[in-house]
Structure 1
Amino acid sequence: MPTIDEVALPARPTPFLIIELAQVRRNMIALRQAFPKAGIYFAVKAAPLDPVLQILDAAGSNFDVASPYEVDQLLALGIAPARMSYGNTIKKPTDIRYVYEKGIRLFASDAVSDLTKLAEYAPQSKIFFRLNTEGVGADWPLSRKFGAGPEEVLELLLHSQHLPLTPYGLSFHVGSQQREISQWDRSIAICKKLFQCATENGIPLRALNLGGGLPTNYVLPTPPVAEYAKAINNSLAFHFNEAIPEILIEPGRYMAGNAGTIVAKVVMIAKRRDDIWVYLDIGKFGGLIETIDESIKYPITVLGKENPEKTIPVILAGPTCDSMDTLYEKYQYHLPENITEGDTVIIRSAGAYTASYCAVNFNGLPPLKTVFI
């Protein structure tokens, strides 16, 4: 099997993404060992690539889907709808009807409007009620837009009693690339109270979906997944005692992040005032959208110049004619002093939310190509 550097060296047009499928499999095995009793639902949106989905399918993963298109992609790979959970709480009636007809019976919801649509177009389906979180400690927070407050969740649970739906459990998401392990404990504690309130009102909930948030390693390393799992499992045992519900987790970034490497080229180097700008042939619109607000900081090196004697601080930017396409300005990367135009740049831990986030045809640029090893 070729190494990442061997794939990067040939005269292949850049940029492109390399996915190491064996690393995806290793991540799945480690996660199963860390959470032996949990149902694992890979967040398809993180890396909706057929070979990745097939590797995870073979390893026993289920799948968290967010659109009819992801459902169709999985069905085309022979993955049964019973192994899918529709986690997107923002749904058109036509989409609900379509995926229901395809066999989806597990949905997440966080609003009366959505519950009403589910009752009409997906009757008797099992529903997770999504709790919002603050997103503290996450590099890519997911607060405000999704989830209802504890009181609102209880109101939704009570409302669901009058609908042809099955209240199945609660769900939350502590934020993507979550560095503070304690954030799971806070949400689990709230969910335990809601479980009690639901039981007191004649609504026996069966499951708790812990969502995503498990991190990969970027510039700042994170603890191993086993450390997260120990804290989360301890929290579940503390709050639920012997009555721990069925547990689901939805890894995305954790599963694919460190399996991906982007290979790019230096297009231009320019001195602007006192700053050195290095322009790459990939930017926000080519797959690095998570550099918005410099949230995700990828490990970046120059091929053949990995251990330079001298480095210089640079501002990194993409190739498009949009000023937003600046990757890192406040956080300045230090690259080799002898960096030159045409150098190959290696961007690691780029397997999640890159190929799936790239724009199509902005400035005429094609989607990010992917190579599997």
Structure 2
Amino acid sequence: MSTAQLIARSPQRIFDFIDRKSLPTPYLVIDLPEIEDNYQTLVAQLPDTQIYYAVKANPAPAILQLLVKLGASFDAASLPEIQACLDAGAQPRQISFGNTIKKAADIAAAYQLGIRLFAFDSLPELEKLAEHAPGAQIYCRLLMECTGAEWPLSRKFGCELDMAKDLLIHSDRLGLQPYGVSFHVGSQQLDVRQWDLAIATTARLFRDLAAVGVELQMLNLGGGFPARYFSTVPELTSYTRSIDTALTRHFENNRPLTMLEPGRSLVADAGIINTEVVLISQKSYQEDRRWVFLDIGKFGGLAETMDEAIRYRLRTPWDGTPTGSVILAGPTCDSADILYDRADYHLPLQLQAGDKLQILSTGAYTSTYASVGFNGFAPLAVYCI
């Protein structure tokens, strides 16, 4: 699919909003009807799976309120995210404390708020849960390679299969409820086969535990469904069919309850950042590439451009005219604030300082990544329409 076709798929309501308003840049606009459509489509394709929205992707109150109304559940990474879900109208039973790294005080506070579903991936975390969330349902996160993901989540989260087995057996002895297992194949995962590999691994763990009297009930399929950045991505049906086929193949007639933690795939394509070109310059008479500085950069919400991992699509007022190679950078006095150098971005030669430029599919992992005031720049403003 061409860049022009992908731009055409972006919510026109956002472009209309930008054209009507004269708001100071940079800012993010979220199209709520687009999120609702994404959620309903996912539910229709995985009707037997409970959707736990990954709040960290974008915790805007309007998004949480919409998803509560639609019947979603929520994957929270912190006590403030739990409180945000409750403030939006979610019930405690709809919230999973999915971070495997939690303070004991936060576990206790979440338990007091009524949260009864917790993730873990180590013995010390399990012992904290036993002390501060007695009788809670717990699920163990497995370590995954994340092959094929543009934003891998390997190494930091999860434990090996044999350790997970021992921990889940031990959790039963500690008075907790060994409820299930989770995995994450990596964010912006482009290889639909990764779920089959992960589900095969978890099915083996289910069987091994059942053999020693520990009957798990739930499989958390994690997140990973992609947004539409520069790379061509498979259609949603490719993912949902792969998951359904894998569950049948590896669990046969003993399918567990399943939950999914989408974040990026629900909100990324529903958001667009409007930014201004601050400066266009060159560093020498010999250099053939222009430096294009925007009023947003890594510290303003574009942290996923680190190592140029996530490559956003851009829209300019001069699209369709001759272009030249550029280096894209942010406005701060930090040399790390370079967005794209190696990715071979080309922008119109007519582009000039003061022009407005839209960064597409930026509804996820932008506003929450923005610093609170590095170099004095304000956090990214968010408008939900």
Answering whether residue 181 of structure 2 is matched by residue 170 of structure 1, we say: yes
Give identity over the alignment, percent. 46
Q: Superposition pairs for residues 258-337 of structure 1, below 5 Å? A: 258-273=269-284, 274=287, 275-302=289-316, 304-308=317-321, 310-337=322-349
Q: Superposition pairs for residues 97-176 of structure 1, below 5 Å? A: 97-176=108-187
Shift of 1:79: 1.2
Alpha-carbon distance in 2 for matches of 1:11, 1:56: 29
Alpha-carbon distance in 2 for matches of 1:201, 1:169: 15
CA pair 238-316 structure 1, distance change in 2 beyond 3 A: same
Q: Are the aligned partners of 2:79 and 2:106 in contact in 1 as well (CA < 8 Å)?
A: yes
Q: Write out per-residue CA displacement over residues 224-276 of structure 1, whole angstroms, 9 at most, x where no aligned residue.
A: 21111001110110000111100000000001010000000000011124121
- State the partner residue of 2:8: none
Contiguous gaps of at least 5 residues in structure 2? 1-10
Normalising by structure 2, what TM-score? 0.95
Give the counterpart letter for 1:277 in structure 2. W
Alpha-carbon distance in 1 for matches of 2:384, 2:131: 42
- State the partner residue of 1:223: 234
Q: Write out per-residue CA displacement over residues 184-207 of structure 1, whole angstroms, 9 at most, x where no aligned residue.
A: 111101101100110011100001
- State the partner residue of 2:219: 208
Aligned partner of residue 3 in structure 1, secondary structure: helix
Q: Write out per-residue CA displacement over residues 85-111 of structure 1, whole angstroms, 9 at most, x where no aligned residue.
A: 110000110000000000000011100
Q: Are the aligned partners of 1:237 and 1:244 in contact in 2 as well (CA < 8 Å)?
A: yes
Shift of 1:333: 1.0
Runs of 4+ residues over 3 Å off in structure 1: none
Aligned partner of residue 367 in structure 1, secondary structure: coil
Q: Superposition pairs for residues 19-34 of structure 1, below 5 Å? A: 19-34=30-45
Shift of 1:324: 0.5
Alpha-carbon distance in 2 for matches of 1:116, 1:272: 56
Answering whether residue 105 of structure 2 is matched by residue 94 of structure 1, we say: yes
Equivalent of 1:343 in 339, 343, 355:
355
Alpha-carbon distance in 2 for matches of 1:355, 1:138: 22
Number of residues of Structure 1 aligned to a counterpart in Structure 2: 371
Shift of 1:344: 0.5
Give the counterpart letter for 2:331 in structure 1. P
Equivalent of 1:5 in 15, 18, 28:
15
Shift of 1:137: 0.5
Q: Write out per-residue CA displacement over residues 155-206 of structure 1, whole angstroms, 9 at most, x where no aligned residue.
A: 1112213201000011000000000011111110110110011001110000
Q: Write out per-residue CA displacement over residues 266-307 of structure 1, whole angstroms, 9 at most, x where no aligned residue.
A: 0001112412100000000001000000010111121x2122
Shift of 1:2: 7.7
Contiguous gaps of at least 5 residues in structure 1? none
Structure 1 window deviating more from structure 2 (352-361 vs 269-278): it is 269-278
Q: Are the aligned partners of 2:68 and 2:88 in contact in 1 as well (CA < 8 Å)?
A: no
- State the partner residue of 1:370: 382
Shift of 1:337: 1.0
- State the partner residue of 2:252: 241
Q: Are the aligned partners of 1:105 and 1:126 in contact in 2 as well (CA < 8 Å)?
A: yes
Give the counterpart letter for 2:35 in structure 1. V
Q: Are the aligned partners of 1:41 and 1:248 in contact in 2 as well (CA < 8 Å)?
A: yes
Q: Are the aligned partners of 1:301 and 1:335 in contact in 2 as well (CA < 8 Å)?
A: no
Alpha-carbon distance in 2 for matches of 1:5, 1:27: 19
- State the partner residue of 1:353: 365
Alpha-carbon distance in 2 for matches of 1:279, 1:332: 16
Q: Are the aligned partners of 2:117 and 2:137 in contact in 1 as well (CA < 8 Å)?
A: yes
Shift of 1:208: 0.2
Alpha-carbon distance in 2 for matches of 1:60, 1:226: 22
Alpha-carbon distance in 1 for matches of 2:233, 2:189: 9
Give the counterpart letter for 2:369 in structure 1. Y
Aligned partner of residue 173 in structure 2, secondary structure: coil
